[in-house]
């Protein structure tokens, strides 16, 4: 069965500064438990704030490293999930359920892509 990577992007302008609510975390935990029991979830995690990250860029034969936060970013990658689904439609259905656990004031975008197998 194919594997899929869901890249979770969060609009920091709509995310609460204190982070996810306890209710959101509870709903998220329940959904992750359901996806895991269904044999779909392979790995998932949230990421630390972009201010704690670094960007490594290769351009023109030179490597540069930039410390976060990255001023030009409105949306940041907030986490990821790796699932194993029968097809893209199933991966998208699970992802739709994931975005719906967030309160209405959040703006969350997930990019779902099949992992290319060697």
Domain limits at 62? 3-114
* CATH code for the domain in which residue 67 is found: 3.30.70.1060
The count of structural domains within the chain is 1
pLDDT above 90 for 111: yes
Q: What is the pLDDT of residue 72?
A: 66
Q: Tens digits of per-residue pLDDT, 72-97?
A: 667 788 899 999 999 999 999 999 99
List of residues 6+ apart from 31 with CB closer than 8 A: 97, 98, 101
Q: Each residue of 18-28: pLDDT tens digit?
A: 889 999 999 99
Half-sphere exposure of 1 (CA within 13 A, CB side): 15
Residue 58 confidence (pLDDT) above 90: yes
Nearest CA-CA partner of 12 in 72, 75, 79: 75
- Rounded to two decimals, what is the model's pTM? 0.86
């Amino acid at each position: 069965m194919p594997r899929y990577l869901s890249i979770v992007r969060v609009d920091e302008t709509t995310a609460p500064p204190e982070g996810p609510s306890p209710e959101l975390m509870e709903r998220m935990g329940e959904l992750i438990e359901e996806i895991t029991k269904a044999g779909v979830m392979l790995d998932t995690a949230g990421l630390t704030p972009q201010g704690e990250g670094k960007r490594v860029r290769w351009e023109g034969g030179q490597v540069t490293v930039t410390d976060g936060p990255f001023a030009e970013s409105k949306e940041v990658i907030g986490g990821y999930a790796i699932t194993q689904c029968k097809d893209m439609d199933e991966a998208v259905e699970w992802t739709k359920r994931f975005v719906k656990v967030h309160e209405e004031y959040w703006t969350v975008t997930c990019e779902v892509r099949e992992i290319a197998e060697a």
